[in-house]
Structures are given as C-alpha cells and as structure tokens.
Amino acid sequence: MEELIQYQSNLLKSINKDFTRYAYSKLPWQSRFLGIKGFRGVGKTTMLLQYLKYELKDLSEHLYVTLDHPYFYQHSLYELAEQFYQLGGKTLLVDEVHKLSDWSRELKIVYDGYPDLQLIFTSSSALDILKGESDLSRRVLTYELGGLSFREYISFVHGIDFPVYSLSEITENHLQIATEIAAQVRPIALFKNYLQTGYYPYGQAEAKEFFQKRLLQALEVVLQSDINYIYGYTSENTAKIKKLLGVISESPPFTINIAAVADKLSIGRSTVSNYLYALHDAGILRFLNRKGKGVARLQKPDKIYLDNTNLSLVLQSNIDKGTQRETFALNQLQHAGHSSTLPTKGDIFVEENNLTIEIGGKNKTAQQIQNLSNAYIFADDIEIGFGQKIPLYLLGFLY
C-alpha cells in the first residue's frame, strides 16, 4: 500500500483550490457511499483530490486510489480496503471504478463489510449502477458531473465570479443581468471561445489544435475502453459504433431512420438502438424527445445532438451555426436539471417552467413562437436583449 500513499502524495502537490467546479459545494460529501460520473476530462479527479486535500486533511485516515494503478494488477479493491481499514482508514476515494470488470460486486462487498468506511468513487458516464452484477441502487448516491458552464468558464479563465441565475430569473430580468455582465467582460467574444474550447477544463491550458487532439484521444478511450468495459463489447462492436457516430456527425441535429442505418451498417435495428443509448450514456450524444414519449431504450430518439459544442468541433468538418446554438442550449439546460422536450412550435420546451424557447441569430424574429403565451427567443451575437429576445449566452449561467 506504500506505493499508493506515495502516488497520492505526488498528486496532491499540484492541487490547489483556485477554482472549484459548480458541484463541489453541492455534493453530499458526508454520504457514506457516493458516486460521481462524468466524461473524461470534466474534472472528477481534481474534485476528489481537492476534497481530500482541503476538507479531509488528515491523510493518515483518508486515501485516494485510481484503478489504473499497477497495484491493482495483483490486488483487489477489497484487499486494499481491508488493509486500509485495519490501519485506521476512514475514507477511501476510488477513481475510475469502471476499470474493474466486477466493479459492482467489489463495491458492495467493501460497503457491506466495513460500515465505518466512507466510500467515494468516480466512473465513466456510461456506468449504469442498475446494470451491475450486485444491486447498488438502494445504497449509493450518484451525481453526473458535466463540463464547464459558460459562467464557470469565465471564472476559470478570467477569475471573475458571476452568480448562478435560474431560468425564471433570466427570462424576467435578462436586461439587468446582461447589463451587469457586459460591464465586466465582453460576453460575445468569450462565448465564441467557449463554444470552441471552453467546455472541458483542460481546453484552457492548450492551443486549439492540441486541445482538439487531446479531446479526440479522450473520445477514443471512451469508445475503445470505457464502453467496452461496461457493455462487454468487442473491437467489432466498437468499429460499428464509430461508423454510427460518423453517420450522426454528418448532419446533426440528426433525425435517425433506424432501418436505413441498420442496413448501412449491416446490423439489426435493436443493435442500432443499443449503440445509440451506449453513446448517450457515455456522454457523447444528447437526445431531445417529444413531450409524453416513453423512455424505453428501444424507442428511437426524435432528435440527436452531439453532447457539446467542443465535441462538435472535432467531429464535424462543417459546423452548422444553428445546430451549434441548439447544442449549447440543450446541454446547459439539461445539466442545470431542466426536463427538455421537443415542442410542436419552437426548438426546446422546458417542462418545469412551461416555457418554449426559440433559438437563432441576432435577426431571429418571433414568427415561429407567435401566439404562445410563455415563449422567448434566445439569440446569438447580441450582448443585451430586449423584451422577448434574450442573449443566448445567458443560458450558460444556469449552473
């Protein structure tokens, strides 16, 4: 176990608390069994190490491990937990838990066997707690960590902290809010940068071309490793999933013809659906369905988007501005916890607010949402709006 303690010590040297993710202060850190899911690079590991360094402090009682470490070539997680507990351990922070083929069984054994030991873990977005060999759904609290919001991006890059605004606050007070923001930063210029490289924290430390390469590498690991680990897929499955992703990337927002895609890829229709949901669960795709539609996994999504605009940049040769704007809006709304559906009129309907959103450029008119009682245009390339027209970038202040 000494090598794990030394590894932890080396990692903590570079950890600071200059910036913390939106979830840091909201997570139930005192929960005995907590899981944090998210795409590679959104900040899960950093958040664990910040919590260890600044909240737990007494490192003799708390230990961070990653299941990528060579220690686990010869030892199980249970063996480590047993030894750590005997030495007085109180908190075990486990990174990349999906790397264990029998992750659910090991977690359950540790949880049940050591009731005084707190267990916090991170995993790929694709991990489904309900699908594990051992049922953890009644034991663990899970949280999905998204990428940076536009608000977080401004804080991370420029050190200027703006408050989180609810969707109701934005629709009711957008003129005042936008005026206060524009007095401190140039939101349109920052927003354009955010759409290209601002969603993932590491995008701020690298030149654009290197960021794109790193994001592609992360995507490749998710496709080749994470999804395969979790679903038991083979290299043949991965090749088909890549082709499916290529088809979707050609023209999002994509309305899929399951039968046509199945024929093109020489696979069954149910397999196409399974692959779509695997990509969705892995944080690569985002769905928008009509109101009232069931959630059965074999139903085809009504509209399919890439998860975020940074991902669009590396997967699409020609980015459609309209699609980019919709992708941003849907991403920020859903990460803020809003139930978003596809309306008959407009682009997005927000269930909780009974609100219809139309998305477009600065010259967008209200023609498509006329006669709707609670509808707004969220327009790109405007710094300050008026009446029913609101700057699109304000949706980036929801979390």
Residue 39, domain CATH: 3.40.50.300
Residue 182 pLDDT grade (very low, low, confident, very high; cuts 50, 70, 90)? very high
pTM of the predicted model, to two decimals?
0.90
Between 132-136, 298-302, 338-342, the lowest mean confidence (pLDDT) is in 132-136
CB 62 within 8 A of CB 90: yes
d(CA 173, CA 393): 14
Is there a single domain that holds both residue 327 and residue 224?
yes
> Greatest CA span in the chain, whole angstroms?
69
Is there a single domain that holds both residue 114 and residue 213?
no
Is there a single domain that holds both residue 67 and residue 170?
no
Is there a single domain that holds both residue 38 and residue 123?
yes
Quick check: 75 pLDDT over 90? yes
Helix ranges (DSSP H) in the chain: 2-12, 44-51, 77-86, 103-113, 150-158, 167-182, 187-197, 208-221, 227-231, 235-250, 258-265, 269-281, 309-315, 321-335
pLDDT at position 297 = 57
d(CA 350, CA 154): 25
Is there a single domain that holds both residue 127 and residue 17?
yes
Residue located via tokens 């074999």: 298
A 10 A CB-CB count for 204 gives 15
End position of a domain, from candidates 98, 125, 144: 144
Both tokens of 315, joined, read 């997967």
End position of a domain, from candidates 82, 111, 144: 144
Both tokens of 282, joined, read 């892995």
Is there a single domain that holds both residue 251 and residue 179?
yes
End position of a domain, from candidates 99, 118, 144: 144
Q: What is the DSSP letter of 393?
A: G
Quick check: 127 pLDDT over 80? no
pLDDT at position 206 = 75
Is there a single domain that holds both residue 170 and residue 262?
yes
3-state secondary structure 98-120: HHCCCHHHHHHHHHHHCCCCEEE
Both tokens of 101, joined, read 């083929």
d(CA 119, CA 117): 6
Is there a single domain that holds both residue 207 and residue 350?
yes
Residue located via tokens 């840091």: 24
Residue 76 pLDDT grade (very low, low, confident, very high; cuts 50, 70, 90)? very high
d(CA 162, CA 190): 14
pLDDT at position 232 = 83
Is there a single domain that holds both residue 183 and residue 244?
yes
Is there a single domain that holds both residue 80 and residue 204?
no
d(CA 388, CA 392): 12
Average pLDDT over residues 129-151: 80
pLDDT digit string, tens, across residues 314-348? 898 788 899 999 999 999 999 999 999 999 999 99
Residue, of 144 and 127, whose pLDDT is higher: 144
Is there a single domain that holds both residue 187 and residue 90?
no
Number of domains in the chain: 2
Residue 344 phi/psi, 5° resolution? -70, -40
d(CA 221, CA 215): 10
Residue 252 pLDDT grade (very low, low, confident, very high; cuts 50, 70, 90)? low
Range of the domain at 24: 2-144
Is there a single domain that holds both residue 112 and residue 205?
no
pLDDT digit string, tens, across residues 190-249? 999 999 999 999 988 777 888 999 999 999 999 988 888 778 899 999 999 999 999 888
Quick check: 257 pLDDT over 80? yes
- Residue 142: helix, strand or coil by DSSP? strand
